[in-house]
Amino acid sequence: MKYHPMETDPKLSAEEKILKIEEWYCKQEENFIKEQITRKTVQDCIAHSNFGLRNDFPKFLKLAKKHNLNFLVVTGGFSDVTATILNTLVKVEEYENL
């Protein structure tokens, strides 16, 4: 939670916030490397967890695909983790619009 107060601080300029976001991202990547966290590690964690999606999320994605609507996932970080979770729970390759 170190970076969240900076992210929401109205006194900081966009440039200052971007610098902090870049710092956070680099530290996160360094920690993944240091702790040897790989995509396989994330997949194993997901397989042994209770991650889930709202009940109708797969139905929603099919409906978006049917109507040729793009679906954008916005994440505050850990995009590889988010992508792995989605691909584990919903076969992402079936959705060109995701």
Please report the pLDDT score of residue 13 as a whole number.
Answer: 92
- 24-33 burial, b for 16+ CB within 10 Å, e for fewer? beeeeeeebe
Please report the pLDDT score of residue 81 as a whole number.
Answer: 77
Please report the pLDDT score of residue 97 as a whole number.
Answer: 59
Domain ranges of the chain: 1-36, 39-98
Q: Model pTM greater than 0.85?
A: no
Contact 24, 3 (CB under 8 A): yes
pLDDT, averaged per 10 consecutive residues of the chain (98 residues), comes to 80 91 87 89 84 83 87 74 78 68
